Chains A and B, each alone.
Chain A
Amino acid sequence: MTKNLASLFCGALFGLGLTISQMSNPDKVLAFLDVTGNWDPSLMFVMAGALITLATAQHFILKRQQPICDTKFYLPKTNLPIDKRLILGAIIFGIGWGLVGFCPGAVLAALSDSKFEPFLFTLALGAGMMLFSCFDNKK
């Protein structure tokens, strides 16, 4: 139960961060991606804030043997190679991201506005994920 409550709290912080930084606004994100237009570098400051905070905190957290509510840290292996799947996946995601300006976290925060577009995008996002699990034979 503590685990779920901690998750709820972390999710709430994440949603607050996305909303305060306006990353849930797709036009704001597109303005960052539009480097040759009326460029808005705000997203870089979002990343800087997140990276400085996380990298510093993580330095101390990972000195522990295990997290508070679990027996181990679930970290992706760092020695895996950069492969075709990673790059192709990133290209496909990047194109989708550039078309509308929603990434998975941002669209969830935007859902709270109760507008039709974020709901439709979320459904399509789920469909894309299901499509992947149906056709991916590597797992």
Chain B
Amino acid sequence: MENFTPYSAFFGGSLIGLSAALLLYFNGRIAGISGIISGAFNVKDNDRYWRLFFLGGLILSAALFNHFFQTVSVNYSRSTILLIISGVLVGYGTRLGNGCTSGHAVCGLARFSKRSAAATVTFMVAAMLTVYVTRHLLGILQ
């Protein structure tokens, strides 16, 4: 557990919670990222511009923070085929299941939604099993 960072994790998490609270306070919307992404590109929806602004703000602030404060470089190296398979699964699964980590595990749980609790437990277990199988049983994807 030498990489455990409880303070920055808790502080960063609080900012995520504050962001979701303010989005609800101002716009009455849920800060579920997968829903915001798919809605932002739904051209039939006239009320989609707030979503584009949200996504723009997210990318911009992360870029500024990394530019000024990032000290360690993150290792993203993964094989092309793995990135494609994983991305398609995440995109498809979050639409079918109506939400991802932010929509279910943060916004849904904060509202004590039974559906979000079920989804959160399910995707956490599925993800942990995936890591167990790939890392420890098959010994790949270290």
Q: Which residue of chain B has the shortest Cβ distance to A21 in the bound complex?
A: B12
- Flag if A24 contacts B74 (CB, 8 Å): yes
Q: Which of B96, B102, B114 has the most CB of A within 10 A?
A: B96
Complex Cα distance A99/B78, Å? 10
A63 to chain B, nearest CB (A): 11
- Flag if A54 contacts B11 (CB, 8 Å): no
- For the complex, would chain B's binding face be called helix, strand, loop or mixed by DSSP majority? helix
Complex Cα distance A49/B106, Å? 10
Complex Cα distance A14/B30, Å? 12
- B interface residue numbers (CB < 8 A to A): 1-6, 8-31, 33-34, 37-38, 41, 49-51, 53-63, 65-66, 70, 74-78, 80, 82-98, 100-102, 104-111, 113-115, 118-120, 122-132, 134-136, 141
> Which one of A9, A34, A58, A131 contacts B88 once the chains associate, using CB atoms below 8 Å?
A131
Contacts of A103 in B (CB 8 A): 33, 90, 100-102
Contacts of A3 in B (CB 8 A): 26-27, 50
- Flag if A98 contacts B82 (CB, 8 Å): no
- For the complex, would chain A's binding face be called helix, strand, loop or mixed by DSSP majority? helix
Question: How many of chain A's residues have a CB under 8 angstroms from any CB in B?
Answer: 117
The answer to whether A99 and B66 touch (CB under 8 A), given A9-B22, A73-B28, is: no
**Listed A/B pairs (8) with beta-carbon separation below 8 Å:** A8-B57, A10-B57, A11-B54, A17-B14, A47-B13, A78-B113, A104-B94, A136-B96
- Flag if B16 contacts A18 (CB, 8 Å): yes
Contacts of A131 in B (CB 8 A): 88, 91-92
Contacts of B15 in A (CB 8 A): 13-14, 16-17, 20-21, 49
Contacts of B110 in A (CB 8 A): 50-51, 54-55, 58
Complex Cα distance A35/B1, Å? 11
Contacts of B29 in A (CB 8 A): 70, 74
Q: Which of A71-105 contact B (CB under 8 A)?
A: 72-76, 78, 80-82, 85-100, 102-105
Contacts of B125 in A (CB 8 A): 94
Complex Cα distance A76/B119, Å? 14
Contacts of A7 in B (CB 8 A): 23, 26-27, 50-51, 53-54, 57
